[in-house]
Structure 1
Amino acid sequence: MKTCEGRIGRVFVIRLEHGDVVPECIERFAEEHGVSVG
């Protein structure tokens, strides 16, 4: 998985690679970057 972060508020782009599991990648990304609901 490759990711980058922009700075207009918080805008993220997540580029998945072949074989990445979407829910797992999103959950891991959210945890690593302090993203939470609300």
Structure 2
Amino acid sequence: MVIITRRDINGLQRYYIRTSDGKLRRIPKPKPPSKFG
């Protein structure tokens, strides 16, 4: 799965995944992997 990050006008980071038909689908911010638990 390819996660694409974009910045919008306000400088906020937006996260998208590229679907199989080439569209971008907006996703909520992915949680960082918890390797320190």
For the pair shown, which has the larger CA radius of gyration, 1 or 2?
A: 2
Which band: TM-score by shorter chain?
Answer: 0.3 to 0.5
The alignment's TM-score, normalised by the length of structure 1, stands at 0.34
Between Structure 1 and Structure 2, which shows a larger proportion of strand residues? 2
Between Structure 1 and Structure 2, which shows a larger proportion of helix residues? 1
The alignment's TM-score, normalised by the length of structure 2, stands at 0.34
